[in-house]
Amino acid sequence: MITINEHYLKLQASYLFSDIAKRVATFQKNNPEQDIIKLGIGDVTKGLTPASIKAFHSAVDEMAEDTTFRGYGPEQGYDFLREAIAINDFQSRGADISADEIFVSDGAKCDTGNIQELFSQDIKIAIPDPVYPVYLDTNVMAGRTGTFDDGKYQGLVYLDSTKDNNFVPSLPSENVDLIYLCFPNNPTGSTISKADLKTWVDYAREHKALILFDAAYEAFIRDESLPKSIYEIEGAKEVAIEFRSFSKSAGFTGTRCAYTVVPKECAAYDSAGTKHLLHGLWNRRHCTKFNGVSYPVQRAAEAVYSAEGKTQTKALIDYYMENSAVVCKTMDKLGYDYVGGKNSPYIWIDGQMDSWQFFDMLLNKAGVVCTPGAGFGKCGNGYIRISAFNSHDKVREAMDRLTNALTD
């Protein structure tokens, strides 16, 4: 008899985006004239840069000729891309990361989800609340939690991100072995200072713990004092794995390219307490289960680091950050408390009422769709997330409508 992995039965069905879609469809049916502006979903809206498209095209042409055709490439990514990443994203910021510590992949979602299979079943895991759901659900699937009770899974240590800690969780009071951190954060848009990030690195070193640092939104950092990489913090290379993606930084959500950094000194332990390097383990997993990102996509990603690619990619991010600024200005004027938006495409707003109530009010009174914070965890209730991924015109109009709706 074929039996299932019963841990899957503990998963909470994610109704968030289907609930949103249902409410929007009902509203549209009752108000066919109203045009709806979506500031809800975490997907980019602008096309790839000309530099990436040009590289993409010419790599496709290379695939057509027997002499330039490429079959299977190195699972970890082509050297041309790994070297461009190491130099531009790390060495240029004083973080001593080399090309062979970079593992190119088809997404940070897969990598943040897959990484947990390197660790034993009985580790203690600290997960932020609110959270990008992948970290949580993949550990539930692996059987590292108990059941879901009262908005939380048993057996996990939740790192609450609230107004009290300015949406940067404090160190846990109990010992944990694996820590998920994401800055700039999705969904809150909050950032972490070098000093605060150092307290986590020091904690991990002291407790022989490991930090999984998701930096998918580093490209949106404007404040030069903030760390873009955890490896800007002394001692992090022994205790941290970092995840990056071209999805939000260069518009690759539909193109698919990301990477994971596993420094060579980064270690974990077996049950006898013997130290093992994670670089070798991740390399083994990656080569066994993954066959590399397609050649044209890696060329398109490499072009992000060319001189014109850098200028164009910066303009792409600047475009979205102008939207963030418009949203922040509107919230300042309306007197709503919020975090994010300054170094992030997300603005996390205290709606001063239940998340779904605020969502319905914005939809009904302004025809604007946001994301209810409650969908990201218990601490998200009372908040909504507004995303900067849309056109200038739509965001300005949404903010005008929202201002009218909230001040009448």
Ligand X SMILES: *Cc1c(COP(=O)(O)O)cnc(C)c1O
Q: Which residues bind ligand X (CB under 6 A)?
A: 42, 107-109, 132, 182, 186, 214, 216, 245, 247-248, 253, 258
* Nearest distance in Å: CB 388, ligand X: 13
Query: Which is closer to ligand X, CB of 176 or CB of 219?
Result: 219
* Nearest distance in Å: CB 197, ligand X: 16
Q: DSSP string of 317-347?
A: HHHHHHHHHHHHHHHHHHT--EEESSSSSEE
Query: Which is closer to ligand X, CB of 102 or CB of 402?
Result: 102
Question: Rounded to whole angstroms, how far apart are CA atoms 408 and 405?
Answer: 6
Q: Any alpha helices (H) in 78-145, and if so which ranges?
A: 79-85, 108-114, 133-141
- Long-range CB pairs of 21-27, under 8 A, 24+ apart, other chains included: 23/359, 23/360, 23/363, 24/363, 24/369, 27/363, 27/364, 27/367
Query: Which is closer to ligand X, CB of 183 or CB of 231?
Result: 183
- Name the residue with the smallest CB distance to ligand X: 107
Query: Which is closer to ligand X, CB of 42 or CB of 263?
Result: 42
Question: CA geometry: angle at 141 spanning 138 and 145, to 5°?
Answer: 95
Query: Which is closer to ligand X, CB of 349 or CB of 402?
Result: 349
* Nearest distance in Å: CB 170, ligand X: 21
* Nearest distance in Å: CB 375, ligand X: 13
* Nearest distance in Å: CB 246, ligand X: 7
Question: CA geometry: angle at 344 spanning 233 and 170, to 5°?
Answer: 50
Residue 102's H or E segment, with its range, is strand 102-105
Contact, 89 vs 244, CB < 8 A? yes
Question: Rounded to whole angstroms, how far apart are CA atoms 294 and 307?
Answer: 23
Query: Which is closer to ligand X, CB of 91 or CB of 253?
Result: 253
* Nearest distance in Å: CB 37, ligand X: 21
Both tokens of 194, joined, read 């070098």
Question: CA geometry: angle at 78 spanning 75 and 82, to 5°?
Answer: 105
Query: Which is closer to ligand X, CB of 258 or CB of 399?
Result: 258
Question: Rounded to whole angstroms, how far apart are CA atoms 309 and 314?
Answer: 8
Detail the DSSP E strand segments found in 232-293.
Answer: 240-245, 258-261, 267-269, 275-277
* Nearest distance in Å: CB 75, ligand X: 17
